[in-house]
Structure 1
Amino acid sequence: MGLLDWVRGSKEPTPQKRAPVQIGPSFNSMADTSLEEYLLGQTVGSRTVTADNAMKISAVWRCVSLISGNVATLPLDLKRRVGETRVDADDHDLWTILRRKPNRWQTPAEFRRMLQMSVLLRGNGYAYKVTSGKKIIELIPLNADNVEVKQERDLSLTYTVTLPSGQRTILKQDKMLHLRGMTFDGIVGLPVITYAQEAMGLAASTEQHAGALFRNGTRAGGVIKHPGSLGEEGQVALRESLDYYRSGAALEGRDLILEEGMDYQRLSMTSVDAQFIQTRVQSLAEIAMYFGVPLHMVGLNDKASSWGTGIEQMGIGFVTYTMQDWLTMWEQAIARDLIDESEPDLYARFNNAALLKGDTKSRYEAYAIGRNSGFLSANDIRALEDMDPIEGGDTYLEPLNMTPLGEQPTTADAPTQD
């Protein structure tokens, strides 16, 4: 069964379930790293970092959902250059694929979110192009773990895809939409979790340790002192009494009844406890740094930030320094893989104005500057606010107190004085 048969829904016997593919450096890179380094690099703090269990770390979940959510929800426009103007290419087949229905079961937002998550966690995102002639009918997302990329002698790329049936099929470059993150060789992208595995492994290990600590109660909250020697039966009775008081939330905070002159002394937080909390916070901050997300967006509001002095400025910094990189990756991959070379005037563009909008007052002040300066019309502003155009709204104002450099103002149209 080929890939096209699988896409069309051909029936085949259910194969044996394949073992999950370990995310990390591939064995193609064994020439420049030893097997010992490869194996040791995957296990940190007794935890193996994979794309699946990395998402159980709160900072990873937040960073991935934040970036992929922005890619999914931003408007993606298909434009065409016509002379000096740019118009919507809503008559093109690709318009429906990108904005309406990429395939039979996904919305455009779901499709883009899935591929962006794949790029963030696995370094690459793949979608198979179902075509009829030069027309693209569907984009079928593929699991990046099941795709191998190879560069041929003519420098073109071929993709070996393992289907759910276990069969392997080879696709040429013109059948694939390939999104890749940072890359050393220009062929495959680098997964963030491969290089952030120390921080992620530490975060997972400290979280696991904290869970076991609270679940098993291994840290003593206080010490009970007995003036003499407590017998074996007394120890059992005391332990049962303490377990009773710790057995339910309804009994929390009640006073202990101590007999035989016993005294209770609460233990304060030690320097080891404080260091443990600091380690957890530091590991989450490092994860946010790997993904390029401001610390306040992952809940670390007490950390100093170089993104700006206010929440709005830090948000603009996130759009400029992080999101713009991923949006450019999408736009250029669409131009390379989905737009035919015979249509050089066609291009895709994300409208990131929604991410850069400030509060209502600041936004309207910016519109007023554009309107009074003559480069925005009333309908331009209404379009940015998703409002219908008005009659006569395409007129641009010309400031009377501005003239080209070196040109003397004329008095032909100056008002006369009676």
Structure 2
Amino acid sequence: MKFTEKVKLLFKNNMDDYIRAFITGDDLDNPSYGDALMDPSTALKYTAVFACNKVLAETFACMPAMLYRKDQKGEREAVNDLAIYDILHYKPNEEMSPFNFKEACMTSLNLGGNSVCERLVNGKGQLVGLYPYQHAFVDISRNPSNKKLIYTIRDGISKKELTRDQIFHVPNLSLDGIVGLSPISYASSAIRLGMSYEQFGVNFYRNGANPSGSFDIPGELGEEAFNRLKIELKHNYSGLKRTGTPMLLEGGMKFTPHTINPVDAQLLESKSFQAEDICRIYRVPQHLIQLLGHSTNNNIEHQSLEFVMYTMLPIFKRWEENINMQLLTDKQRAAGYYIEFKIDALLRGDAVSRATAYAQGRQWGWLSVNDIRKLENMSAIPNGDIYTQPLNMGEAGKIQVADQTKAIVDSIYKIITNYNES
């Protein structure tokens, strides 16, 4: 490998990985999946990792981050009067949409264990944007003199150092609570094994490990006849265009087709098991990456609910707390401002389930017509803020249902009779 190519590899991968590869003698010119450096770009070549990351990143990017303000009575209202609202909803930076920004941040968290963004500020030091960096290009260390964190960002052959107050950092599962653990590093063996199965599947056909059949020839073919047979097979019977062409055999020759397939070699079972292992690492239900072997129409709905409860809720909570801690000032937090992801869409269910829930809320008095219309993104209607309750609801020991009905009838009767007399 040329020196310039080694320099590029040095900046592509983490320094620790490069040193480890140098010590262990890994082949950097042509690494196999068994000894390749497990960086994000390598891990994403495994379809199960790519699919799990896509599910988590896109689900996270779809959810809007709402800005709320809570008053002294505990009542809250949705507001948009802080810069962080505009950043998360409309323009994180000059180059990314909010969806792409959140997707990139979540991908960095899934693969590198840390999401690191540089804070973009104006001349007054006010936050006006966020720019994410791939974690592979970021080294986190401590200043030996003041013990404060330093983020060294490598960009090509240059680098810059930023302090904690210049960075928005969201760590994944961590041993020290500061630097997150990389899932692909700790699960590198499982990922490499899965990639090896895929590579075996490619070589299974490329190298002729699965011949279509064999010829049974009485006696022995001469060199001329053997060469003529090879040419005949290659030109007349090989390739997809010639599939199904009847084969002409002579001299008592017989063709016996083979039925060897990857299932016989336990390839498909092994690939499926490794994909399940990746789903286990990322806590993604198998049906979301099209592994439907253990899924039915009855349990998919329950699995989807568990995905929201046990996978996405901790992710949203992790981001909410870090945004509120790092991107809101002490003064803004004291004024009652906070960020919360609106995940109602993940829990809405189908139309029948929503209608049933709304009917119960309307019947028992904790939803008004306009409350329901707002949840369905519909405009309010006049007199739609009235809350009702069933007639048979009353304090125990007080007026009974029959008495309530009689009282209502008497009241209506008086209104009618008074109207007629007048």
- Structure 1-normalised TM-score? 0.85
Q: Which residue of 2 aligns with 1:240?
A: 231
Structure ranking higher in helix proportion? 2
Q: Tell me if 1:332 matches 2:325.
A: no
Q: Which residue of 1 aligns with 2:408?
A: 415
Q: Tell me if 1:343 matches 2:335.
A: no
Query: Match of 1:312, as an amino acid?
Result: E
Q: Which residue of 2 aligns with 1:9?
A: none
TM superposition shift of 1:38: 11
TM superposition shift of 1:209: 1.9
Distance 1:58 1:377, change over 3 A: same
Distance 1:246 1:292 in 2: 48
Q: Which residue of 1 aligns with 2:162?
A: 171
Q: Which residue of 2 aligns with 1:162?
A: 154
Distance 1:38 1:213, change over 3 A: closer
TM superposition shift of 1:84: 2.6
Structure 2 unmatched runs, 5+:
1-6, 414-422
Q: Which residue of 2 aligns with 1:297?
A: 288
Alignment of 1:114-193 (within 5 A): 114-132=104-122, 133=124, 135-151=126-142, 156-164=148-156, 166-193=157-184
Q: Is the 8 A contact 1:48 1:201 kept in 2?
A: no
Q: Is the 8 A contact 2:237 2:247 kept in 1?
A: no
Query: Match of 2:96, as an amino acid?
Result: Q
2:279 corresponds to which of 281, 288, 295: 288
TM superposition shift of 1:97: 0.8
CA RMSD of aligned residues (A): 2.9
Distance 1:96 1:391 in 2: 31
Give the fraction of aligned pairs with identical amino acids, expressed as a percent: 30
Larger Rg: 2
Q: Deviations over 1:290-333 (max 9, x none)?
A: 1111111111111369xx94322211111111111211111111
Distance 1:140 1:280 in 2: 37
Q: Which residue of 2 aligns with 1:219?
A: 210
TM superposition shift of 1:105: 1.6
Report the 3-state secondary structure (helix = DSSP H, G, I; strand = E; otherwise coil) of the residue aligned with 1:342: helix
Q: Which residue of 2 aligns with 1:205?
A: 196
Distance 2:136 2:357 in 1: 46
Aligned positions, number: 392
Q: Which residue of 1 aligns with 2:82?
A: 92
1:71 corresponds to which of 60, 63, 69: 60
Query: Match of 1:158, as an amino acid?
Result: I
Q: Which residue of 1 aligns with 2:418?
A: none
1:60 corresponds to which of 49, 53, 56: 49
Distance 1:172 1:290 in 2: 32
- Structure 2-normalised TM-score? 0.84
Structure 1 unmatched runs, 5+:
1-15
Distance 2:46 2:33 in 1: 14
Distance 2:25 2:182 in 1: 17
Distance 2:36 2:274 in 1: 15
Q: Which residue of 2 aligns with 1:107?
A: 97
Q: Which residue of 1 aligns with 2:416?
A: none
TM superposition shift of 1:43: 7.0
TM superposition shift of 1:203: 1.8
Distance 1:37 1:282 in 2: 31
Q: Deviations over 1:254-291 (max 9, x none)?
A: 22222211111122337973412211111111111111
Query: Match of 1:92, as an amino acid?
Result: L
Q: Which residue of 2 aligns with 1:12?
A: none
Distance 1:43 1:347, change over 3 A: farther
TM superposition shift of 1:148: 1.5
Q: Deviations over 1:20-77 (max 9, x none)?
A: 433697699x9xxxx76999xx975355432112212221111111110011111211
Distance 1:222 1:339 in 2: 70
TM superposition shift of 1:201: 1.0
Q: Is the 8 A contact 1:160 1:171 kept in 2?
A: yes
Distance 1:270 1:318 in 2: 35
Q: Is the 8 A contact 2:370 2:384 kept in 1?
A: yes
Q: Which residue of 2 aligns with 1:269?
A: 260
Distance 1:43 1:180 in 2: 30
Q: Which residue of 1 aligns with 2:242?
A: 251
Report the 3-state secondary structure (helix = DSSP H, G, I; strand = E; otherwise coil) of the residue aligned with 1:140: strand
